[in-house]
Amino acid sequence: MTSAPAPITPAHRVTFWRTLRFRLAVWNALIVALTAGITLAGLRQGVQWTLLHELDQILTEDLEEVELAVRETGTGDLVQLTDHLTLKAIGHKQHQWFVELRGPEDDVLWRSEGTPESIQDAVVTARSPITVDGYRVVEHRIEGSPRISSARVGASLELMQQDIQRLDGLVLIAGILLLLIAPLLGYWLARRAAQTIGDIIHTASHLNPGRLEDRLRILGTGDELDQLSHTVNHLLDRIAAYLQQRREYLANIAHELRTPLAAVRSSVEVALVGDRSPQEYQDLLGEIIEQGESLESLVNQILLLAEAEADDLMERTEPVDLREVAETSVDMFRGVAEVRGIWLQTQRIDVAVIPGRRTHLSQLVNNLIDNAVKYTPQGGRIDVSLVRDPEAGEVTLTVRDTGIGIAKSDIERIFDRFFRADRSRLRDPSVRGSGLGLSICKAIVAAHHGEIVCASEIGKGTTFTVHLPLG
Ligand code: ADP
């Protein structure tokens, strides 16, 4: 056996680990950590490369200076040169700057004080500086000097490494701060977003057909969540309006059924109290039959509207001769119209066969002519016409009367179920109606993919025009 999904109630609340807030916070932290990690690592590498590149440039310039000095010295006194280089080495002591001069056999001729032993055997290519044992070293061959064939210049990387270590410290602190702030910020943001969703869940879980006035809060941010709340509220408005309509419809049905039922009951009660003549019993039974008929007609109308709602009106369609339908209907009402002193006649009636349901189309024409007869005073006139227009692909049925007319404000509502316009202008108070006739007409016309319009003027008359496609 399958069971329906249970509604979300406070008892069904998800655990904290599965909340949107928590998951968004974790995702946010991961993304921030990854982005920050890559950025900071890239930054560190960039700074290190820049510092090393600058040092290489300085060393190369120094080496070029040494080269020049060596060439200028030529075969002259080397002491003057080495004194000059010693002074320079002392001047750059904090960088542990050194210089080494080599002879044609690659033997060390002279080196400044503090030159590391470890660089002595290092093989340095002419173009690219290398790192040896914590020192950066560059070497150039010196052409045109009889005694000195190459020179090396170098400096310690210690200061640069200290700078990098300091930068590493800063990067670490920034990383830790980001890792702490990112989840908190993510949680805060996710909480703000989830709050609105929580509101939606809360309101939705408390909704029921008897309590549809609750609406979601609109924060006015104009974001997607606000739009979602708007959409949900709009949906609730429509559901509430629909349910209200249903309630009124049911109340109207109950009201309409009550009147004939009460009449039947009172006729039966009268028949049961005391002795009556056969004629009186006959009259009472006649009354009951009449009320029974009006009950039956009302129930049939309600069923037809239910069928229309379920889109069942057009099952089993057939070719329907509208001319025959219109003429039969006019013949049927001619007698009643004559009794009331109304001139009912047909104008142009074309032959028009359309696909549809004959019973429903007959009911459509009957309802329109019935209304025209009911709402046209003595001496009035009713014209019925049926015009086939093959070019427009439609047939137009018109029922025009010179009756009491309908107020402009009511015209929009006459197709509503159970709507009846002001009856004070009716001369004949015995005119009865359920207020369902025109809503049935509208449903039948819609099922045949047509259109029905009403034009009316108070005191002058009403015209109903029905356009139906030829199919
Ligand atoms: P009813 O059973 O009351 O006639 P309908 O749905 O057929 O119900 O019509 C709705 C209302 O529209 C009527 O109560 C009447 O006020 C108005 N109406 C319909 N047809 C006409 C007409 N031909 N002339 C004047 N009023 C009309």
- Over residues 84-105, mean pLDDT: 90
Q: How far is the CA of 318 from the centre of ligand 1 (A)?
A: 29
pLDDT(3) > 70: no
> Full-prediction pTM beyond 0.85?
no
Q: How far is the CA of 140 from the centre of ligand 1 (A)?
A: 112
Q: Is 402 in the pocket of ligand 1 (CB under 6 A)?
A: no
Tokens 């930068």 belong to residue = 167
Q: How far is the CA of 265 from the centre of ligand 1 (A)?
A: 29
**For 29-65, how does the pLDDT look when each residue is reduced to its tens digit (9 = 90+)?**
888 889 988 998 999 999 999 999 999 999 999 999 9
pLDDT(229) > 50: yes
Least confidently predicted of 7-21, 338-352, 392-406: 7-21
- Considering only residues 464 and 141, tell me which one the structure prediction assigns the higher pLDDT: 464
**For 392-404, how does the pLDDT look when each residue is reduced to its tens digit (9 = 90+)?**
999 999 999 999 9
Q: How far is the CA of 368 from the centre of ligand 1 (A)?
A: 9
Least confidently predicted of 171-175, 301-305, 446-450: 171-175
Q: Supply 240's token pair.
A: 């509430």
Phi-psi region of 9 (alpha: psi -120 to 50; beta: other; left: phi over 0): beta
Q: What are phi and psi of 110, to 5 degrees?
A: -155, 150
CA distances in angstroms from 128 to 53, 57, 111, 131, 161, listed in the order given: 11, 11, 21, 10, 20
**For 367-389, how does the pLDDT look when each residue is reduced to its tens digit (9 = 90+)?**
999 999 999 999 999 999 999 99
Q: Are 365 and 325 in contact (CB under 8 A)?
A: yes
Residue (of 335, 331, 349, 400) closest to 371 by Cα position: 400
Strand blocks (E) in 83-202: 98-102, 108-111, 130-132, 135-141, 150-156
Q: How far is the CA of 404 from the centre of ligand 1 (A)?
A: 10
Q: How far is the CA of 388 from the centre of ligand 1 (A)?
A: 26
- Confidence band for 124, pLDDT divided at 50, 70 and 90: low
Least confidently predicted of 61-70, 214-223, 324-333: 214-223
- Confidence band for 14, pLDDT divided at 50, 70 and 90: low
Sorted by sequence, the CB contacts under 8 Å of residue 110 that are 6+ apart come out as 78, 82, 85, 100, 101
Q: Is 376 in the pocket of ligand 1 (CB under 6 A)?
A: no
- Over residues 391-419, mean pLDDT: 95
Q: Supply 44's token pair.
A: 């560190």
Q: Is 372 in the pocket of ligand 1 (CB under 6 A)?
A: yes
- Confidence band for 1, pLDDT divided at 50, 70 and 90: very low
For the chain, the average pLDDT equals: 88
By DSSP bridging, strand 343-349 and strand 381-389 are parallel
Q: Supply 357's token pair.
A: 């349901």
Q: Is 414 in the pocket of ligand 1 (CB under 6 A)?
A: yes
Atom 14 in ligand 1: which residue has the minimum CA distance?
A: 420
Q: Best of 300, 367, 371, 400 to mutate for ligand 1, by most ligand atoms within 8 A of CB?
A: 371
- Considering only residues 348 and 128, tell me which one the structure prediction assigns the higher pLDDT: 348
- Confidence band for 448, pLDDT divided at 50, 70 and 90: very high
- Over residues 233-262, mean pLDDT: 90
